[in-house]
Amino acid sequence: MNNLNPAWKSFKVSVNSLCSGDQDRRLKCIVWDWDSNGKHDFIGEFSSTFKEMRGALEGRQVQWECINPKYKVKKKNYKNSGIVILNLCKIHKMHSFLDYIMGGCQIQFTVAIDFTASNGDPRNSCSLHYIHPYHHFYSTAFK
Q: Does the pLDDT value for residue 138 go beyond 70?
A: no
Number of domains in the chain: 1
Average pLDDT over residues 69-92: 91
Query: Is the residue at 42 inside a domain?
Result: yes
Query: Is the residue at 55 inside a domain?
Result: yes
Q: Does the pLDDT value for residue 54 go beyond 70?
A: yes
Length of the chain measured in residues: 143
Confidence of residue 66 (pLDDT cuts 50, 70, 90): very high
Query: Is the residue at 33 inside a domain?
Result: yes
| Surface-to-core class of residue 9, CB atoms within 10 Å of its CB (0-12 exposed, 13-18 middle, 19+ buried) | exposed
Task: Indicate yes or no: pTM above 0.85.
Answer: no
Q: How crowded is residue 81: how many other Cβ atoms within 10 Å of its Cβ?
A: 19
